[in-house]
Structures are given as C-alpha cells and as structure tokens.
C-alpha cells in the first residue's frame, strides 16, 4: 500500500468547476499547494472533460516524479461529441465546451482504455492510485465488482500501487470494500461534520477487509468552508433548510471553543484511524494556505465531546 499524504488537493476546480479558471489561475493554485508542502493531488477525466488532468500533468512535469502522489479515476471515457453545435457548454457543472462527452464504461476494456488516456492527458509515467468513479451511475449490476477486478489486474501487473472506489454512494463503496480487492476508498461528502453515512456499516467493512479511507469533499461542496452562508452549496446543490440550521449550530459550538468551522471540518474525519488523508479543493491560492493553516490548528477534545453530546455527530466508532 502506497503512503498517502495526510492532505491532498482536490483538482476538480482545475477543470473549471462552477466557473471558468484561466491556465494562469490554475497554475497559481497548484504552485501555492506545492509551496505549502502538498504532495497528493486527486483528479479525474470527469473534471472538465479531461481539462483537470491536462492542467495537473503540465504542472507536475516540472516536479520530481518520486516526490508526489497522484490519483485519478476510471469509469468515464472522454469521447468526441458528434452532436456538438459548436457553442454548447458541458451540462455537468464544469464550464468547458461540450465538444467531447462522457461515456460510462466500467468494463475491463473500458478501465484499461481510461488509464491509458489519463496517462496521455497527464503526461505521467504512472498513476499511483486508481479509483472506480461513481459506479452506481452505470445502472449495470456488478459494475463495481467488474471495474475493481480490472484494477486489481493492473495492480498485479505493477501498473498502479493502490486501487479502490471514489463515490458519494455508500452502497458502491460497500460493494468495493466487500470485493476484498480495495486498498483505499475515497469517501466523498459522506464522512463530514454534516454527513456520517459511513457509520457504522462502511466502517465495519473497512475493518473486516483492511481498507483505508480518504475523506474527500469534507466541506460538503462549500457549506463548511466558512461560517454557513445561504448562497453556499451542499452536495453540489442548494442547501436544505434543516442542513443549514444544523451547520449554523455546529458553527456556534466551534466558535465557543475558539475553533474555525473549516478547521473542524478538515480535522473531523482524521480523528478516525481508518482515515489516512483528507482531500479538499481550492478556488484560489489563498484557500490553499487557509486550509493548510486550519489543518494544523489546535482543536480541543472538548469540542468533539460537546458535538457528540448534543447529537450533532455520532460517537467515534473504533
């Protein structure tokens, strides 16, 4: 199992998530991350229809290959879009032209094609970690198991160091763990201050099969990245009223303990020994520096005790 740094940069924004980023802005985010000591970078073909992989690869070409860890994902092939009208933009949240499209493919052939194409886009000699990306979207029974078997073959061949599944879907993550093939799961949005869907079943499966967790999207798409705002996103959508109310209550308790909400959000999943890393994106270099500062700030144990006693987070399952 490869050593995964405690903090990783989520590279969806490099694919123009929610707004257009220039190459200069993308490079500045990556430079700030590198200068701050970040050495784990997570991307995917899905992010900007390959744009994130290309930008990340171009940046990492200037860095020593053995000094960083890269993960990307399989399950979505990027293919020409014959129906593109020359103007339409991607309708999946990324501000990029829809001249290409995503083709879901979790087969062994599709997995190998995806890896080869990610290597071409990034220009890397290898990918360190490969995740099956959102297999629940396939609509095909057994997609998780099929893709995991294909990734296991690549691992056996020495083409990748670690494999698993990255998803918001707890059932897909469970299926991946129960194959007995996964090294690590990227749990997106489901092990946060506002959502602990991993408890207890997925955590128990991780224990049974010796699987580690990378907690991604720990800000739940932005709601926990600062004191809660009405215009923030939650799971990429508008924030439900009950969730907003709970976020405000958590924020007040954090403030009473002298802790910034994003610091608590970043450190919350790391209390669990199964969690070896947290991954968060950034829209500008300042956010990188803020996240690293929050990650290193002191959080008194009394905060977690009060959040648990008030029923806002469950007791830690060890």
**Catalytic machinery residues:** 47
Rounded Cα distance, 120 and 206, in Å? 33
DSSP state of 194: S
| b/e burial code for range 59-95 (CB count within 10 A of at least 16 → b) | bbeeeeeeebbbbbbbbbbbeebeeeeeeeebebebe
- Residue 178: partners with Cβ closer than 8 Å, 6 or more residues away: 205, 209
Q: Is the sign of the CA dihedral 288, 292, 298, 299 positive or negative?
A: positive
- Residue 40: partners with Cβ closer than 8 Å, 6 or more residues away: 4, 5, 7, 8, 9, 68, 69, 70, 71, 277, 279
Decide: 90 and 150 in contact? Cβ < 8 Å. no
Rounded Cα distance, 40 and 53, in Å? 14
Tokens of 206: 């991780």
């Amino acid at each position: 199992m490869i050593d995964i740094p405690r903090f990783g940069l989520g590279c969806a924004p490099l694919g123009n998530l929610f707004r257009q980023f220039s190459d200069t802005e993308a490079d500045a985010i990556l430079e700030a991350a590198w200068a701050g000591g970040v050495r784990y970078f997570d991307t995917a073909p899905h992010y900007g229809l390959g744009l994130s992989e290309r930008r990340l690869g171009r940046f990492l070409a200037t860095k020593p290959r053995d000094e960083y860890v890269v993960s990307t994902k399989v399950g979505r092939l990027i293919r020409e879009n014959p129906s593109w009208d020359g103007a339409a933009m991607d309708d999946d949240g990324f501000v990029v032209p829809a001249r290409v499209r995503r083709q879901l493919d979790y087969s062994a052939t599709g997995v190998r094609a995806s890896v080869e194409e990610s290597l071409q886009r990034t220009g890397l000699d290898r990918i360190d970690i490969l995740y099956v990306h959102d297999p629940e979207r396939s609509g095909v029974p057994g997609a998780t198991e099929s893709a995991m078997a294909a990734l296991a073959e690549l691992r056996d061949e020495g083409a990748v160091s670690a494999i698993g599944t990255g998803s918001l879907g707890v059932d897909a993550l469970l299926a991946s763990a129960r194959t007995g093939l996964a090294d690590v799961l990227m749990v997106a949005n489901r092990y946060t201050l506002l959502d602990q869907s991993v408890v207890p079943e997925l955590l128990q499966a991780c224990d049974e099969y010796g699987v580690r967790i990378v907690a991604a999207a720990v800000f739940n798409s932005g709601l926990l990245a600062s004191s809660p705002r009405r215009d923030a996103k939650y799971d990429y959508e508008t924030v439900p009223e009950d969730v907003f109310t709970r976020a405000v209550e958590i924020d007040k308790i954090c403030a009473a303990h002298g802790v910034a909400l994003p610091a608590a959000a970043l450190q919350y999943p790391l209390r669990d020994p199964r969690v070896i890393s947290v991954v968060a994106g950034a829209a500008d270099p300042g956010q990188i520096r803020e996240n690293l500062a929050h990650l290193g700030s002191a959080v008194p144990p009394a905060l977690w005790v009060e959040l648990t006693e008030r029923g806002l987070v469950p007791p830690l399952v060890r």
